[in-house]
Structure 1
Amino acid sequence: MFSFKNVYVRFIQSHGMARHFRSLAIWDAFRREAQPHEMSDQLSQRLVAAAHTAPESLLASLGTQLSGLSAERANLIRREVGPNEVGHEKPMPWWLHLWHCYRNPFNLLLTLLAAVSYATNDLRAAVVIGAMVLLSTVMRFVQETRSNKAADELKAMVSNKATVMRRDLAEEAAAEAREFFEIQLHTKPAHQEEVPIRELVPGDIVVLSAGDMIPADLRVLSAKDLFVSQAAMTGESLPVEKFALPRQPSNNALELENLLFMGTNVVSGAGLAVVLETGGRTFFGALAQRVTATDRAPTAFQTGVNRVSWLLIRFMVVMSPLVLLLNGFTKGDWVEAALFALSIAVGLTPEMLPMIVTSTLAKGAVVLSRKRVIVKRLDAIQNFGAMNVLCTDKTGTLTQDKIFLERHTDIHGNKSEEVLSLAYLNSHYQTGLKNLLDVAVLEHAEVHRSLDIAANYKKVDEIPFDFQRRRMSVVVSERDDHHELICKGALEEVLAVCTRIREDGQDMPLTPERLADIKQRTAALNEQGLRVVAVAMKEEPPHRQAYSVADESNMTLMGYVAFLDPPKESTEPALTALKAHGIEVKILTGDNELVTAKICREVGLEQRGVVLGSQIEAMSDSELSEIAVKYNVFAKLSPAQKERIVRSLKAAGNVVGFMGDGINDAPALRAADIGISVDSAVDIAKEAADIILLEKSLMVLEEGVIEGRRTFANMLKYIKMTASSNFGNVFSVLIASAFLPFLPMLPLQLLVQNLLYDISQVAIPFDNVDAELLTQPQRWNPDDIGRFMVWFGPVSSLFDIATYLLMWFVFSANTPEHQTLFQSGWFVEGLLSQTLIVHMIRTRKIPFLQSRAAWPLLGMTLAVMAMGVFMVMGPFSHYFKLQALPPVFFVYLAGILMAYIALTQAMKSFYAKRYGWQ
């Protein structure tokens, strides 16, 4: 019944890749439906052929070279093949969008009623109902158009990029000259350039490193320990190593080791690849076409909205026939009774729900963007407001996103230029993902040295970093008589491959006594808040050109580089604000426990014990669930352990947010209820996130949480108002139908009243929210909506019945001849009480005095109330089959409305004490 498709599905589909399939169950279902043998024959044949073609021939067939394409050539190809976008729903023409806005069950029901009215010569009713359909359709069309535009603008603010080789026009001309005239021209070398993924074209040469998304279907040209996670394609849980040439022949493209597929990601290593297919012509694109034709699985929020909607529809299905039978048997006019029953059905359907929810979410997303928070999935706003546990890394969140190299020492803590030189060479020559530690080493060395020591060396090979080894190595050569393997990484992991230490220029055995001394010295550095990275090396004969992890053995520990990661000034007040808003912060870091504890003390985060990754590894899921809730600092974690902690917290009933920006954070980001990343994060982290912060700050996050809660609170207001008001109307109509000799309100009048009531709530997305509703996480609880409806619906019925009695006994509107007076009285009272309920239910406080609605909502409700009174008292009342009421009626009406406000307020206090307000 309800779908956010027009608002965010195309937003996500044009923006994301693997993120389409955050729900593994959905993705697995599609993957099962599209096994490799079901791939397009042409696509499969092209990919397999490309995998077995010699690289030189393949590049020639694609019109490219190892130095890449020029920007001009890439633009020409893009105009021919289109942008590199998958599952992108082209914007519908305005007329088709208008049709989609019209064709919902509610508008079809109204159209049927208008047709019946026209057929029975009730032209006024037909005109009013037609206006109702037109207004509902146009309002939804306008709101969704604005929402789509807002989503597109937000999407443009966050884009993943790929590193490609680019050459200028001179190089392009030289290539053509070499091809046709076989001459050599001197040209400028190609350079690397980052371009948005959507701008890639076949023939582009892509440079890959750890953390990159695979942006298209690629053929590997060169690879160094290139491991790719392609679980989304094949279901393999472990990363797969890729090579430049296939190791085993196969006709199954997914099994070929030199093909990479859009939607997968690089776990470790580096490589160079050429783009074969882009956009919808990729294997991922073939699967995504199935997804674009199928709605995503509903989220918890959507499911809850659907439950409320179907609850009201069930009421409609039961009550409308009951009203038809009661009025048909008691009044004898079955045609009129049928029209009235249809009107009741329309009144009970939440026809404005899609528009209200859509516009509220879109408005919330736009406001969040002004606070430097970009919402990738609109319905994630609900989880943002409901979040009660925030898991975050330490670096760049609690601390400054700038690390300084504080010390470079030998194993005894003495300053060592040799250790700095080795660390510099390691950071300079690695081609993988350079982290903040590498940047700090390079910047420190550049400031303190006039000559680049790397100029004396040439690179031989490298052994990329991975999160199991927690170290990386480069092999360099200064002279032709030997190679130097330089290793840099976490202390324990580097010590594990060392058998010697460098002491006073001599290599000495790593004895247990020396090992204990090393751990004592590094622990002292950790306690000062310094992150310690060990540096080791060994010399190798100059005969080899390829090295592997197995060569990281029998090394000599040279010393340490220690980094200072100072806390942000804003961290302590941000943590205080998050705690005040009911959010518990837990630190999940791969860093040392001593450094983590020091930073936590500096920022005022109360520690309830520190749990290490090695301890978590030995725990069962039930044990971890208990520990995850009890403790708030977890150190030396692997990516899988971060994910386990997040899942354990979710299993304990928490709404968990995870904030991270590294490749090691991607599993936890996907596992969390709401993944939060930053614009400077690696591609896979941004892809996995629901929320993107344009500034890596907990203070920005806290502002976003508050806005998320405000957005959710306003949506909940409408749902509560609609549910309780419609439920009350059911009772009122049933009682009136059973005892009155005429209809309590004509179908036309009931529809006009319902239309005016809907208009009064259009401004709800812009309403104020009471401060106390923003201090605690807000959960979506559809069962609470049902209880609220049962408690507050009958309250309005009491005063509807009071109005019946007033019109019957005081104004003698008790015969069919005086039914117009009766109907006019209930029309005004019903409209005013329904409009007042907006202000009563929008707050737990006393409305107008302790909590005042925003001016747009206040103005809209006043205008609707004035319009309702004017329709009865003005010169056009006879068009709606109404008549002017005696002035004294409004004196009685004021008393009824004041009593209604007082009873509702008393009911609110009782209900809130027993069940809570929200």
Structure 2
Amino acid sequence: MKIKYPQSYPHSFSVEEVVIAFQTDSESGLSQSEAEKRTREFGPNIYQAQKQKSIWLMMLLQFKSPIVYLLFFAVAVTFYFQNVIEAIAILAVIMVNAAIGFLMELQARNSMNALKEMDVIHSKVIRDGKVQEIPSEKIVPGDIIVLEAGDVIPGDAHLIESNQLQCEESSLTGESLPTEKNTDKLAKDIALGDQFNMVFKGTSVTNGTGKAVITGIAQHTQLGTITSLVESSKEKETPLDKKIGALSKKLIWITLAMTGIFAITGIIQGKDWVLILETSIALSVAAFPEGLPIVATVALAYGMLLMAKRNAIVKKLSAVETLGSTNVILTDKTGTLTENKIYVDTFSFPNEKIKVSIEDNVLSFAEGNIKKSEAEFQKLILIGALCNNVSPKKGDDKTELIGDPIEIALVHLADASGSITEDLKLQYERTGEIPFSSDTKIMGTLHKNSNGYFVAAKGSVEHLLIKCSKIQTGSTIQNLSEEDRKNILAQSEEMAADGLRVLAFAFNEEGEINKDDFLNSLVYVAMIGFLDPPRLDIKEAMLTCRKAGIKIVMITGDHPLTALNIAKKVGLVDENEQNAITGIDIPDMESLSDEWNKKILSTAVFARTTPKQKLDIVATYQKAGNIVAMTGDGVNDAPALKKSDIGIAMGLRGTQVAKETASIILKDDSFKSIAQAVSHGREIFQNIQKFVIYLVSCNLSEIFIVTTLGFVAPASTLLPLQILFLNMVTDVFPALALGLGKGDKTVMERPPRDPKLLILSNKDWITISFYAATMTLAVIVAVFYCKQTISTDSKIINNVAFITLAFAQLFHVFNMSSAHSNFFVNDITKNKFVWIALLICTALMVLVFAIPQMRSVLRLDVLPAQVWLVSILAGLIPLLLVQVYKFIWERKSSK
């Protein structure tokens, strides 16, 4: 009998009814054969892919540009004047541009599809009675899924078990707080936000554990319904695309202005209107650097590839630009500033404090042995082994453990002390669990053995002491006095000040135990101080960020003294710093006074913070006008990661929610990689600025030259086809080389760039105009010299202008070096791609003059050596003038 799918109101079913309706088993789940049958029947658990543009539409959209319209107009005019070869050549350039753009877009689409295949969410499902981890796309209706904190829910599902389960459903319901879940049957007409017995695809588990029956997959989910409504939404341009678009519009206006001036002046002077039209076409061709979009895309792709090699995977293109503007980094402590390798360092029992170490799986005591606390030590080992969710890693090596680093350290402690964790778990069968949460900061487990029930608990000292009413000293259990509490808290403060992460341990094995709320009337046993050493390479990265004008702020859930100690060791604050804000002291954002606002902005260490407080801290910095990068690894970091200007997730220990929310994923979880990513983000944008300045100055020089020669030597001015050749050959290859450069390594010695600024500032436009003027001067000098001494033939003069401008543009690439760099040894001369580009361009120039057909198309002639010498020497003029100017300016600025 087939199951009825989809079900309209699965929340109105009881646990028994939903299991029957989907023909499954709450304990053993579906069989593998049944799951495969349902996959064939209902399809994979993926959304109906948004309808992609057809190949033909993709090609047609390559021509959707004002610049292309201008070039098509040029083609029409040249055809009208029967310049067929020129018209075909311009058309060929348009087609080449379109083909390159088409191939880039096709490659991008293929790459995105490949990334989607790689970025598969895995889910735990019960099949044939065994818990398996499978890609979420293979989930089918009726599957029994197993849920725990950090999981992304693979489909809509009805809960059949719920243990303190909470889900973050803001993407569906708008509720900012997690929703408490249960298995109760509900009415049909209940609102989505009140369907507490359901979990929904794309939301995440923030707390607790549970099991659920999949009732909807793919488009038959709440998220699938929403997705179908937004499929038609338009793609947003990245900030860089907008800035390049603004640049293009400015170039068009410059062209129209120059063309208008030339046309009006020509008409007044009585020039032939055909000549005026041909020159106007040349100006329109000269205006826009056709290779700019190609160069920008290649440069960004290359830069992102290099960032990946530096352990930073960039998911969003706009993140590259945002990185260069970041001036505040909010970072976690554990694993980012520290090694995330937890070691047991200190025991603190009621009657003694002992330093310990574990080497070769043997526990050693600093003073030889335990003098007074053997009974407490044995109980501590038992609690640590039982109140623990570590499991062996799947595969051949069963000795490798996965789970929380502290819990792994507790397993190692039990094993090193002579106990076997697995044996203890068999002796004490677990019957209940209260998972750790960011609110309670306590984890507790309930166990049953031959003597009755046993409660094991661990958590933050201050929170666990509230649950304790007694204390064990030796073999004696007595009431926990206020004096005892003060002594324990003082001892924990002292351990935290030493940089240790401190946890308290307690138990209960006497009297009546409430099996639903067993974390009461506990017996305090001891504290353990865990050491997570700071990374050795952090100090240098901190200093680099400070020099770069970036403020580093630590936000952690740890004890304030522990956080301050680590902050001092890594160089985040100086040794005298005593100020750390604790989460409990931060008022609600709605009632945040100016005084508190200033206090938050001036503090570098936040401890014991909640997810909402992380979000509030990000918002406070953003309101102050900062560009904020936020690091995180957990589900509770996701809101802050999303709120920040650029979210950075940890690749090793990060949850799927954090990775999906973030713009960048660190492969090694190291703060050093964050600093390197910021540095490389700045270098990439600096490269973009360099090749944009290079391309625009070259194109502006062409506008100046066409206009100038149009007045003084109309018959000798550059032709549209010659300009196209320069734009696609002598411009693009050097520009690509600049885009692939390593950048100026001093970028981290300057403050961040203002993100509101366009690619080119007013100062840049002045510089560009100066560069264009020097190249124009070089061409005019060569033209007039050859006209006076070599030949007055307009075709020869035209060729002189063409060759001179080509070499002037090639030599001009060396003007793109940093202002204060050495002329012979700098970021340009050390860029191997620049030299390769110059060789390619020179070879192409030689080929053009060597092949008769090419000469004919470009209207070139075989020229005497004297013309070549004059043109090459004149082409050096821009390089010499700019370098002299830089030298004079540098001397003035150094005084």
TM-score, normalised via structure 2 length:
0.84
3-state DSSP of counterpart to 1:782: coil
Measured against aligned partners, the alpha-carbon deviations of 1:768-822 in whole angstroms (never above 9, x if no partner) come to 423324655653531643430233224322442453365347505999x944333
1:501 aligned partner, one-letter code: I
Q: Return the alpha-carbon distance in structure 1 between the equivalents of residues 623 and 893 of structure 2.
A: 24
Task: Compare 647-656 and 82-91 and name the one that shifted more.
Answer: 82-91
How far does residue 382 in structure 1 lie from its aligned partner after superposition?
A: 2.5
1:804 aligned partner, one-letter code: I
2:866 aligned partner, one-letter code: V
Which structure 1 residue ranges, 5 or more long, are not aligned?
1-43, 168-189
CA contact (8 A) 1:873 1:885 kept: no
Distance verdict in 2 for CA 1:805–1:457, change over 3 Å: closer
Measured against aligned partners, the alpha-carbon deviations of 1:842-866 in whole angstroms (never above 9, x if no partner) come to 5433555444153333222343245
Measured against aligned partners, the alpha-carbon deviations of 1:123-155 in whole angstroms (never above 9, x if no partner) come to 111221122123223333444455555555566
How far does residue 107 in structure 1 lie from its aligned partner after superposition?
A: 3.6
Aligned to 1:520: 490
Identity, % of aligned pairs? 26
Please say if 1:800 is aligned against 2:767.
Answer: no
Aligned to 1:419: 380
Please say if 1:195 is aligned against 2:134.
Answer: yes
Aligned to 1:861: 838
Aligned to 1:132: 93
Q: Trace 1:14-163 onto structure 2 (pairs within 5 A).
A: 46=6, 48-66=8-26, 67-71=28-32, 73-78=34-39, 81-86=42-47, 88-89=49-50, 97-148=58-109, 158-163=119-124
Distance verdict in 2 for CA 1:427–1:589, change over 3 Å: same
- Which of 671, 684, 687 pairs up with 1:698? 671
- Which of 459, 478, 490 pairs up with 1:489? 459
Please say if 1:751 is aligned against 2:732.
Answer: no
Q: Return the alpha-carbon distance in structure 2 between the equivalents of residues 155 and 622 of structure 1.
A: 45
Q: Return the alpha-carbon distance in structure 2 between the equivalents of residues 798 and 360 of structure 1.
A: 27
2:878 aligned partner, one-letter code: Y
Aligned to 2:503: 533
3-state DSSP of counterpart to 1:268: strand
Q: Return the alpha-carbon distance in structure 1 between the equivalents of residues 383 and 315 of structure 2.
A: 42
Please say if 1:213 is aligned against 2:152.
Answer: yes
Please say if 1:828 is aligned against 2:800.
Answer: no
CA contact (8 A) 1:727 1:794 kept: no
How far does residue 230 in structure 1 lie from its aligned partner after superposition?
A: 1.2
3-state DSSP of counterpart to 1:163: strand
Please say if 1:262 is aligned against 2:240.
Answer: no
Task: Compare 872-881 and 266-275 and name the one that shifted more.
Answer: 872-881
**Size of the alignment, in residue pairs?**
845
Which structure 2 residue ranges, 5 or more long, are not aligned?
353-372, 393-401
How far does residue 267 in structure 1 lie from its aligned partner after superposition?
A: 1.6
Q: Return the alpha-carbon distance in structure 2 between the equivalents of residues 60 and 644 of structure 1.
A: 46
Distance verdict in 2 for CA 1:463–1:331, change over 3 Å: farther
Please say if 1:896 is aligned against 2:874.
Answer: yes
How far does residue 518 in structure 1 lie from its aligned partner after superposition?
A: 1.3
- Which of 571, 579, 586 pairs up with 1:610? 579
Please say if 1:771 is aligned against 2:748.
Answer: no
How far does residue 637 in structure 1 lie from its aligned partner after superposition?
A: 2.0
Task: Compare 219-228 and 762-771 and name the one that shifted more.
Answer: 762-771
Aligned to 1:271: 210
CA contact (8 A) 1:800 1:829 kept: no
Pick the structure with more helix per residue.
Answer: 1
Aligned to 1:475: 446
- Which of 406, 413, 424 pairs up with 1:444? 413
2:660 aligned partner, one-letter code: E
Q: Return the alpha-carbon distance in structure 2 between the equivalents of residues 248 and 558 of structure 1.
A: 48
Aligned to 2:471: 501
Please say if 1:312 is aligned against 2:248.
Answer: no
CA contact (8 A) 1:408 1:561 kept: yes
Aligned to 2:360: none
Q: Return the alpha-carbon distance in structure 1 between the equivalents of residues 147 and 468 of structure 2.
A: 31
CA contact (8 A) 2:507 2:524 kept: yes
Aligned to 1:178: none
Q: Return the alpha-carbon distance in structure 2 between the equivalents of residues 541 and 769 of structure 1.
A: 71
Distance verdict in 2 for CA 1:516–1:57, change over 3 Å: closer
CA contact (8 A) 2:808 2:877 kept: no
Q: Return the alpha-carbon distance in structure 2 between the equivalents of residues 329 and 785 of structure 1.
A: 36
Q: Return the alpha-carbon distance in structure 2 between the equivalents of residues 508 and 723 of structure 1.
A: 82
Measured against aligned partners, the alpha-carbon deviations of 1:534-579 in whole angstroms (never above 9, x if no partner) come to 22345687686533xxx64554433323322233344445545555
Q: Return the alpha-carbon distance in structure 2 between the equivalents of residues 755 and 331 of structure 1.
A: 34
1:458 aligned partner, one-letter code: E
How far does residue 596 in structure 1 lie from its aligned partner after superposition?
A: 2.5
Distance verdict in 2 for CA 1:689–1:45, change over 3 Å: same
Distance verdict in 2 for CA 1:191–1:100, change over 3 Å: farther
Q: Return the alpha-carbon distance in structure 2 between the equivalents of residues 165 and 45 of structure 1.
A: 20
Please say if 1:595 is aligned against 2:562.
Answer: yes
Distance verdict in 2 for CA 1:533–1:914, change over 3 Å: farther
CA contact (8 A) 1:86 1:284 kept: no
2:386 aligned partner, one-letter code: L
Aligned to 1:240: 179
CA contact (8 A) 2:506 2:522 kept: yes
Q: Could you say what the CA RMSD is over the residues aligned between the two structures, in angstroms? A: 3.8
Q: Trace 1:839-918 onto structure 2 (pairs within 5 A).
A: 839-844=814-819, 845=821, 849-851=825-827, 852=829, 854-868=831-845, 871=848, 875=852, 876-885=854-863, 887-908=865-886
1:880 aligned partner, one-letter code: L
CA contact (8 A) 2:239 2:318 kept: no
Distance verdict in 2 for CA 1:914–1:467, change over 3 Å: farther
Aligned to 1:642: 614
Q: Return the alpha-carbon distance in structure 2 between the equivalents of residues 490 and 296 of structure 1.
A: 47
How far does residue 907 in structure 1 lie from its aligned partner after superposition?
A: 4.4
CA contact (8 A) 1:726 1:793 kept: no
1:565 aligned partner, one-letter code: D
Q: Return the alpha-carbon distance in structure 2 between the equivalents of residues 597 and 523 of structure 1.
A: 12
Q: Return the alpha-carbon distance in structure 2 between the equivalents of residues 357 and 241 of structure 1.
A: 48
Aligned to 1:462: 433
Please say if 1:789 is aligned against 2:765.
Answer: yes
CA contact (8 A) 2:855 2:861 kept: yes
1:420 aligned partner, one-letter code: I
Q: Return the alpha-carbon distance in structure 1 between the equivalents of residues 38 and 814 of structure 2.
A: 58
TM-score, normalised via structure 1 length:
0.82
How far does residue 836 in structure 1 lie from its aligned partner after superposition?
A: 3.0
Aligned to 2:367: none
- Which of 688, 693, 700 pairs up with 2:661? 688
Q: Return the alpha-carbon distance in structure 2 between the equivalents of residues 637 and 399 of structure 1.
A: 18
1:792 aligned partner, one-letter code: I
Distance verdict in 2 for CA 1:572–1:83, change over 3 Å: farther
3-state DSSP of counterpart to 1:279: coil
- Which of 525, 537, 540 pairs up with 1:558? 525
3-state DSSP of counterpart to 1:493: helix
Q: Return the alpha-carbon distance in structure 2 between the equivalents of residues 834 and 658 of structure 1.
A: 43
